[in-house]
Amino acid sequence: MPSAPAHTQRRKQRAAVFKALGHPARLQIVEELADGERCVCELVDLVGLGWSAVSRHLSVLKAAGILDDEKRGLQVYYRLALPCVKSFTACLDAARRGEAVEVRRCCG
Amino acid sequence: MPSAPAHTQRRKQRAAVFKALGHPARLQIVEELADGERCVCELVDLVGLGWSAVSRHLSVLKAAGILDDEKRGLQVYYRLALPCVKSFTACLDAARRGEAVEVRRCCG
DNA sequence: TGACTATTTCGCATTTCTGCGAAACAGATC
DNA sequence: GATCTGTTTCGCAGAAATGCGAAATAGTCA
């Protein structure tokens, strides 16, 4: 096995997904998008940061494959590309509440 | 409500979980522990970092609630406390492979 | 008690991340 | 074509994370 096996590469990509979600502002963005797509201007209001910060957070999330974007008219709309994020955060909350966390199926 | 509402607090905790998983070495640790508990010395070998680095990674994971530890004999054993991490990473891999990602149930 | 083993904590240098304002850019409208 | 709007990129300063070796800690065994 060479020094950078496939494992390592895949792990890096997976870690990038977690890293992207590992920031309160980005997690909030994902939460907002769980209900449906939003344009950047709406997210700036919701998150309470400047345009540049929100834009970079969005690009991080998109680079990780968590979001998709689409330019429509004058605005850019972002939407959630990985629905399982929702169920995973639900699982985290359940675990935090001490409920029995029994995994059945996450993704078909 | 003061400047730090409950939402914000919970989001921070959730983000801490993701942040903890957002590092290749920590993700590898979690993967190794998915098969069963391990002592620190084994993890040092598996991960390929120094003792201090591994120890701090473990404490980060434990602080986030992802791992549990137990001192037994001369060694400290760590085990996975959040099984849903496994199904979530499986979901990520499925999505990466382009398979239909259909969420059914993550946690009981 | 004293040596030994397994693990954690400390201090430091290096790197990475964050958020801001200014500037650049793209597309729509006049 | 000029302009206006929505969004991204750039450059910077401050904060946080990373990994290392040395030192500290805790528990075991002679």
Q: What is the mean pLDDT of residues B71-81?
A: 93
Nucleotide closest to B39 measured between CA and C1': C6
pTM value is 0.88
pLDDT band for B1, please (50, 70, 90 cuts).
Answer: very low
Q: Considering only CB atoms, which chain A residues are within 8 Å of B15?
A: 21-24, 26-27
A51 has pLDDT over 90: yes
Q: Tell me if B108 and A86 make a contact (CB, 8 A cut-off).
A: no
- pLDDT band, residue B106 (cuts 50/70/90): very low
- On strand D, nucleotides with any atom < 7 Å from a protein CB are 5-11, 17-23, 27-29
Q: In whole angstroms, give the CA distance from residue B19 to residue A71.
A: 30
Cβ of A57 near strand C (under 7 Å)? The reply is: yes
pLDDT of residue A105: 47
How far apart CA B73 and CA A59 sit, in angstroms, is 48
Average pLDDT for residues B72-90, to the nearest whole number?
A: 92
Between B27-36, B60-69, B87-96, B98-107, the lowest mean confidence (pLDDT) is in B98-107
Chain B residues closer than 8 Å to A15 by CB: 21-24, 26-27
Q: What's the rounded mean pLDDT across residues A43-72?
A: 96
- C-beta atoms of B101 and A107 within 8 A: yes
- Least confident range of A1-5, A36-40, A88-92, B24-28: A1-5
Edge-to-edge strand ranges of the sheet holding B67-72: B38-39, B75-80, B67-72
CB-nearest to A22 from B19, B31, B86 is B19
Supply the mean pLDDT for chain A: 88
Q: Stretch A47-57: mean pLDDT, rounded? A: 97
The whole-angstrom distance between A74's CA and the closest CA on chain B is 30
**Predicted confidence (pLDDT) at residue B28 exceeds the cutoff of 70:** yes
Residue range A98-103: mean pLDDT, rounded: 60
